[in-house]
Copies of this chain bind each other. A is one copy, B any other.
Amino acid sequence: MKKEITIYDIAKALKVSPATVSRALNEHQSISGRTTKAVKEMAKKMGYRPNILASSLRTKSTKTIGVITPWINRPFISSVISGIEEVANKEGYNVIISQSNDLLRKEVANAKALFASRVDGLIVSLAMETLRFDHFKPFVDRKIPLVFVDRASSNLGTDRIMIDNFEAGYIATRHLIEQGYTRIAHLTGAEHREIYRERKEGYLSALRENNIELNEELIVVSGLSYQEGRESMEKLLDGTLMPQAVFCANDTSAVGVVQCIKKRGLKVPGDIALVGFNDDPIASIIDPPLTTIAQPSEEMGKIAAQQILKKLRNPKLVKSETIVLKSNLVLRSSSVVSKKITIPE
C-alpha cells in the first residue's frame, strides 16, 4: 500500500543530503538545531520508520538481547524475565525470549537461532539436560556478552548471577532439623546442574553437622516437575523407611509431593513436613502453605541485563564475575507445627 519511506525521501523533500537526515535523526551535534528540527518534523509528517535492518547491517549492532530459559511459565523465571526486560527496554534494547523446555536439543536450536539473529548479548538459564556447552562457544569466540542466571555452569568463564545455593540448602535443612526431624528426604535435580548439587551439598552439610546419618535412599533425583514430585514421593513412601520431612529443590515438585501425601491420607506437616524452593505464588496458596526459599528473581534479571549492558558499553571489560545475591527462608505451615499459621493476607 503505502510505500515505505526512507531517509532519501526525506532528504529529497528537504533538499539536503541523506547523510544530514541520518545525522539529524540521531541528534548528531554537527547538525544545526534548525535542520534537525526540520528533518524530524518532515520524518513524522511523511510517516517515516527507520529501517533497523539497514542500520544494524551497517553498525553491526542489533540492540537486542537474547534470553534462553527452560520454561517461560515458571514463576521464578518469568519474574527474572521481567527484570531483564525492564532494564533492557529502558536502555533501548529489545529482548528475544526463547525456551528450551529443559531439552538440550531445543537449547542448542535456540542458541543457534539467537546467534544467527545476531543478538548483542545473551542471558541463559540452562536446561536440566545440558552437559555440553559448545553451543555457546560461538558467543564466547565473538566476545558476545554471555551471562548465566540461576542455572549456570562454572566451566565457562562467564558472568553468573545466582544465590548461594549451598547456604540455602543448608538453611532449609537446618530448619527442618530444628523442628525435630531427623529422617529428612531430599528431592533434587540432575547432579550436573550446579544449583541442585549445591543445594544438596547444603542439605548434606546440615545433616552432618547434626550428626544425622545420611541414607542414600532418601535422595531422589528427577526433573522436578509436578508429576515427578508425586512419583518421587510415591517411591519414598513405598521405600523401607518413611521420611519425616522432605526438602524439595523447587516448589513445583513440592506441590506434587503434597498431593501425593494427601492422597495417601497423610498430613502435612503432621506426618511429613515439607520445605520447597523458589517461593512460587502457589507456595502460599496450596494447603498447607509451603515453607520455602525465596530468591530475588526480578533483581537477578535486572542485574543480568545490567552486566550485559556494562560489557556492551565497555568491551574492554572481559573479566567475568559471579554475583551472589541473598536468599531467605520463608516460614509457612508446611514445616512448622508449633505456631498456628493462617492463610496469609
Chain A residues within 8 Å of B, Cβ to Cβ: 1-2, 49-54, 56-57, 62, 71-75, 78-79, 81, 85, 89, 94-99, 109, 113, 115-118, 138, 141-143, 226, 255, 259, 262-263, 281-282, 285-287, 342-343
Check A72–B62 contact: CB distance below 8 A.
no
Given contacts A259-B343, A282-B282, 5 further A-B contacts (CB under 8 A): A1-B141, A72-B72, A72-B81, A262-B287, A287-B287
Closest to A89 in B: B109
| Chain B residues, Cβ within 8 Å of A78 | 71-73
What is the CA–CA distance of A51 and B99 in the complex, to the nearest angstrom? 23
Cα–Cα distance between A79 and B73 once the two chains are bound (Å): 9
Can you list 29 A-B pairs with a CB-CB distance of less than 8 A? Answer: A1-B141, A1-B142, A1-B143, A49-B115, A51-B57, A51-B118, A52-B116, A52-B117, A53-B53, A53-B56, A53-B57, A53-B62, A53-B118, A54-B57, A71-B78, A72-B73, A73-B73, A73-B74, A73-B75, A85-B99, A89-B109, A96-B97, A226-B281, A259-B285, A262-B343, A263-B342, A263-B343, A282-B285, A285-B286
Chain B residues contacting A281 (CB-CB under 8 Å) are 226
Expressed in whole angstroms, the minimum distance between the Cβ of A232 and any Cβ of chain B is: 15
> A260 to nearest B CB, angstroms?
9
Alpha-carbon separation in the docked complex, A97 to B99 (Å): 11
Which B residue's beta carbon lies closest to that of A72?
B72
Contacts of A285 in B (CB 8 A): 226, 255, 259, 282, 286
